């Protein structure tokens, strides 16, 4: 009989694991709490056009996602951002062109025109002399991105270039984001090349590309990817249980009353609630949820487990080794506008906003119809020739989301219009609005705090010595983003 694999969580990490096992000949069942799979990779309707509700693109650095997409037959849906537009960093100093060729805002060429404009000549020179420092200077166990960049290149690089990007891309504070977690190859590359700037140039896939363009996307939305993974899973005999929440995990045989008659020798028993309520048996378990849920499941803290049973000691040890990596809530406000004044793409593909910028609460804006021609086409077909789609994001660590405070939905839309006006330097009014939609992500974006990498290494060790037929996966373990997840898939148990 083939191995029964149960995958809990149908985000990208769970779908990749499910497909891998199904292709390996296992009998796979994937359990997803929501009706649809994809997790943070899904589409949403904006007044009649389909747009991304979460991830909007993927990094092309490793080529891993491109290879997967072509394997899934999605190659013809791959699109690249409109060339030559660049993006902006907005702060109290105004809107400046993001320096091209950087890595998370760290410049590869500290004396470039764009870096000098952002930092002033003194700040740019301070960044440039970094090349004279010993390669090991600035590294320490658990050092944060901000501290490391400040030590090597100076405070202005950290505050004006890195902070807005870390806030916008990782929803994190660079002062508490561990360098080794977010740029795991940096230390080694700095040692090899002799300086941070040289390491950035080597690690950047396209050194002269405009900031934010080392990405590709799918037309019409990134949701094609989870859809194709799910189809492939089913084509390989897999089963999907949507609208179903895993609430408790036990090792088979630890509670005889729980064992199913047809699966007396199962390694795992998993309790489910929702569309499919009951217990499922499995030989191999993949937990691909957020880390808090993974911990609760292994500790037996799920709702249906409130029966006083003790957690299995091995599982408890694994559970306690899962790093807490706290979530940052993110709210996107998607706007479709009839706005001829945006036809010239005043901020290029969009802008990231430095923390503390007066009069702007958003942390970033993507001018989606400038960045992506397929979005522009869809918007124009639906709303007319001067239509634009903007995507504003809110939620830095520790901030209350607009709408979680006293603001009504209408006021959140007004706030987004005001922020977009300030960022793009042109007044956008309610009369121009054709559709608005908010999407909230409360559990997906995780902060890799200092110590995260060491904690993951401990987890690897504990999982290795426990020898359980168990995989733990997800962005909290692989790193944020589609590229990290695809590269990580199947690497560790």
Ligand X SMILES: Cc1cc2nc3c(=O)[nH]c(=O)nc-3n(C[C@H](O)[C@H](O)[C@H](O)COP(=O)(O)OP(=O)(O)OC[C@H]3O[C@@H](n4cnc5c(N)ncnc54)[C@H](O)[C@@H]3O)c2cc1C
Binding site for ligand X (CB under 6 A): 8-14, 31-34, 39-41, 54-59, 245-246, 288-290, 293, 330, 332, 441, 444-445, 474-475, 480-482, 485
Residue 280: in which H helix or E strand, if any? strand 278-282
Identify which of residues 149 and 222 has a Cβ nearer to ligand X in the complex: 222
Bridge partners for 284 per DSSP: 5
Instruction: Enter the DSSP assignment of 228.
Output: H
What lies within 8 Å, CB to CB, of 381 at 6+ separation is none
Identify which of residues 13 and 455 has a Cβ nearer to ligand X in the complex: 13
225: CB partners within 8 A, 6+ apart? 12, 38, 41, 68, 69, 72, 74, 218, 482
Classify residue 308 by burial, with Cβ atoms within 10 Å: 0-12, 13-18, 19+: exposed
Instruction: Order the strands of the 78-79 sheet from edge to edge.
Output: 58-59, 215-218, 78-79
Tell the smallest beta-carbon distance from residue 377 to ligand X (Å).
20
CB atoms within 10 A of CB 405: 10
Nearer to ligand X, 31 or 211 (CB): 31
d(CA 371, CA 17): 31
Q: How far is the CB of 337 from ligand X (least distance, A)?
A: 20
Cβ-contact 34, 274 below 8 angstroms: no
Q: Which CB atom, from 119 or from 416, has the smaller least distance to ligand X?
A: 416
**Is the CB of 156 or the CB of 295 nearer to ligand X?**
295
CB of 48 to ligand X, least distance (A): 22
Beta carbon nearer to ligand X, 8 or 158: 8
* Least gap, CB of 5 to ligand X (angstroms): 15
Of 186 and 294, which CB lies nearer to ligand X in the complex structure?
Answer: 294
Cα(166)–Cα(171) distance, integer angstroms: 6
- Please, which residue, 118 or 368, has the CB nearer to ligand X? 368
Rounded least distance, CB 234 to ligand X, Å: 17
Q: Please name the residue ranges forming H helices in 63-193.
A: 64-71, 113-128, 145-153, 155-156, 163-170, 179-182, 186-193
Least distance from ligand X to the Cβ atom of residue 272, Å: 8
Name the minimum Å distance from CB 487 to ligand X: 11
Q: How far is the CB of 419 from ligand X (least distance, A)?
A: 16
């Amino acid at each position: 009989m083939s191995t029964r694999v149960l995958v809990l969580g149908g985000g990208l990490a769970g779908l990749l694991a499910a497909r891998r096992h199904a292709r390996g000949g296992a009998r796979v069942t994937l359990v997803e709490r929501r009706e649809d799979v994809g997790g943070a990779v899904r589409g949403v309707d904006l007044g009649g056009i389909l747009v991304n509700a979460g991830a909007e693109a993927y990094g092309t650095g490793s080529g891993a996602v491109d290879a997967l997409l072509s394997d899934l037959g999605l190659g013809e849906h791959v699109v690249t951002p409109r060339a030559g537009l660049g993006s902006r960093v907005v702060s109290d100093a105004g809107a400046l062109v993001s320096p091209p060729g950087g890595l998370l805002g760290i410049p590869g060429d500290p004396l470039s025109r764009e870096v000098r404009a952002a930092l002033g000549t003194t700040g740019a020179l301070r960044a440039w002399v970094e090349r004279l420092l010993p390669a090991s200077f600035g590294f320490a166990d658990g050092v944060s991105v901000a501290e490391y960049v400040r030590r090597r290149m100076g405070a202005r690089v950290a505050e004006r270039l890195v902070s807005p990007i870390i806030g916008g891309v990782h929803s994190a504070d660079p002062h508490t984001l561990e360098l080794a977690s977010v740029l795991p190859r940096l230390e080694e590359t700095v040692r090899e090349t002799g300086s941070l700037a040289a390491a950035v140039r080597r690690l950047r896939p396209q050194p002269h590309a405009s900031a934010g363009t080392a990405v590709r996307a799918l037309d019409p939305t990134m949701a094609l990817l989870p859809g194709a993974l799910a189809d492939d899973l089913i084509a390989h005999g897999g089963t999907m249980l949507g609208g179903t929440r895993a609430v408790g995990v036990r090792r088979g045989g630890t509670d005889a009353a729980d064992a199913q008659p047809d699966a007396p020798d199962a390694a795992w028993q998993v309790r489910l609630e929702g569309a499919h309520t009951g217990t499922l048996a499995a030989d191999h378990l993949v937990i691909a949820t957020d880390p808090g849920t993974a911990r609760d499941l292994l500790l037996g803290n799920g709702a249906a487990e409130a029966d006083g049973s003790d957690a299995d000691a091995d599982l408890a040890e694994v559970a306690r080794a899962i790093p807490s990596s706290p979530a940052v809530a993110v709210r996107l406000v998607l706007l479709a506008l009839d706005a001829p004044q945006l036809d010239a793409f005043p901020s290029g593909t969009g802008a990231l906003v430095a923390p503390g910028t007066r009069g702007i609460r958003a942390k970033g804006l993507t001018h989606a119809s400038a960045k992506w021609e397929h979005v522009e086409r869809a918007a124009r077909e639906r709303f007319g020739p001067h239509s634009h789609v903007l995507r504003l994001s809110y939620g830095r660590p520790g901030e209350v989301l607009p709408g979680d405070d006293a603001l009504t939905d209408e006021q959140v839309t007004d706030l987004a219009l005001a922020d977009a006006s300030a960022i793009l330097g042109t007044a956008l009014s309610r009369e121009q609005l054709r559709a608005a939609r908010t999407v909230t992500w409360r559990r997906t974006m995780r902060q890799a705090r200092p110590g995260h990498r060491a904690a993951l290494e401990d987890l690897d060790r504990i999982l290795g010595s426990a020898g359980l037929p168990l995989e733990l996966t997800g962005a909290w373990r692989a790193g944020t983003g589609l590229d990290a997840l695809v590269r990580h898939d199947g690497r560790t148990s």
